[in-house]
Structure 1
Amino acid sequence: MRFEIEFSGHENIRSNHQKTIEITKESHLTPQGDCIIGVNANHACADLPQDLKKKLKNSDSNITFSIDVGDYNFTVEGKGHPDLILTHTEDIVIRKSDFVCPRTLAVKCDKASDLLPREMVTLLQDPKTKGIFTITIN
C-alpha cells in the first residue's frame, strides 16, 4: 500500500530535530518548529484512508517513508503501533521514540529531520518548493 502527501517549503524550515520529522497543513511556521520539513500539506493524520490507518496500527507493519524534493530523496524506515490514534487534523509526525499522540504516524523510525541532506533543507526554505511525502507499507 502506498499513499502520497504533497507539501510546500517555508522560509523558516530548519530541520534540526534529532527525534522527529513533521509535516503540517498549517501555512505558518516559526523557527522553533525545528522538526517541520513542510507546510501546506494536503493531508494530516485524520485525513488518511481507513485501510492505511489499519495497517499503521499493526506493530508488525514495516513502513517506509520517502521524502522527495527536487532531485533529492530521503528515506526513513519506521514501525506501526497498535496505540496510534491518527486523529490530528493538521499534523503528521514520525518519531524515533515510542511516544504516541494524535499526531503520531509511526514510531521507532531510524532517522529524524536533523539527517535530511542540507541541500534538500535549503530547497525547502523556498516557499515555492514542492515536496512529496510517500508512505509505503508492504
Structure 2
Amino acid sequence: MEYTFFANGHENVTSKHKSTFEITTDKNLTLKGDCIIGLNSAITLKDLPEELRKDIQTDNKEITMILKTENATDTIKGEGSSKLTLNHPTDMVCRKSDFTCNRTLMIRCDKAAKDLNKELINDLKNNNTLKITIKTS
C-alpha cells in the first residue's frame, strides 16, 4: 500500500527534536514546535485510506515514509502497532520510541526531526512544499 499527500514548510521549522517529528494541519508554527516539519496538511490520521490504516495498526508492520522537497529527499523507517488509534484531528507524529497515543502515526522510527536531511529542512524553512509518501509492505 502506498499513499501520498502534501504539507507546507514554514520559516520557523527548526527540526531540532531528538525523538519525534510531526506533520500537522496547523497553519502557524512558533519556535517552540521544534519537532514540526510540515504544516497546513490537508490530510489527518483520520483521512488515511482504510487499507493503510489496517497495515499501520498491525504490530511490527514495516512502514516507510518518504519526505521530498524541491531539492532533497529523506526516507524514514518505522513500525506499526495494534495500539495506534489513528484518530487525532490535526497531528501525525512519528516517534523513535514505542510510545503510542492518538497522535502517533508510527513508532520505533530510525530518525527524528534532528536526523532529517538538512537540505530538506532548508527547503521547508523557505516555505517549500513537502511531499509525504507512506508505504507499507
Normalised TM-score (structure 2): 0.96
Q: Partner residue of 1:114?
A: 114
Instruction: Report the 3-state secondary structure (helix = DSSP H, G, I; strand = E; otherwise coil) of the residue aligned with 2:60.
Output: coil
CA distance in 2, matches of 1:79, 1:2: 15
Q: Partner residue of 1:34?
A: 34
Question: Is the 2:71–2:123 Cα contact (8 Å) retained in structure 1?
Answer: no
For residues 63-109 of structure 1, the C-alpha deviation after alignment (integer angstroms, 9 at most, x for no partner) is 11100011211001000100001001111111000111111000001
CA distance in 1, matches of 2:68, 2:106: 19
- Deviation, structure 1 residue 60: 3.2
What is the letter of the counterpart of residue 126 of structure 1?
A: N
Q: How does 1:124-135 map to 2 (within 5 A)?
A: 124-127=124-127, 129-135=128-134
What is the letter of the counterpart of residue 130 of structure 2?
A: G
Q: Which moved more, 1:42-51 or 1:102-111?
A: 42-51
4+ long deviations beyond 2 Å: none
Question: Is the 2:9–2:129 Cα contact (8 Å) retained in structure 1?
Answer: yes
Q: Partner residue of 1:85?
A: 85
Q: Partner residue of 1:13?
A: 13
CA distance in 2, matches of 1:5, 1:34: 22
CA distance in 1, matches of 2:101, 2:22: 13
CA distance in 2, matches of 1:123, 1:73: 10
Normalised TM-score (structure 1): 0.96
Percentage identity across aligned positions?
Answer: 39
RMSD (Å) for aligned C-alpha atoms: 0.9
Question: Is the 1:47–1:89 Cα contact (8 Å) retained in structure 2?
Answer: no
What is the letter of the counterpart of residue 24 of structure 2?
A: T
CA distance in 2, matches of 1:34, 1:60: 28
CA distance in 1, matches of 2:60, 2:110: 16
Instruction: Report the 3-state secondary structure (helix = DSSP H, G, I; strand = E; otherwise coil) of the residue aligned with 2:66.
Output: strand
What is the letter of the counterpart of residue 79 of structure 2?
A: K
CA distance in 2, matches of 1:107, 1:120: 22
Instruction: Report the 3-state secondary structure (helix = DSSP H, G, I; strand = E; otherwise coil) of the residue aligned with 1:53.
Output: helix
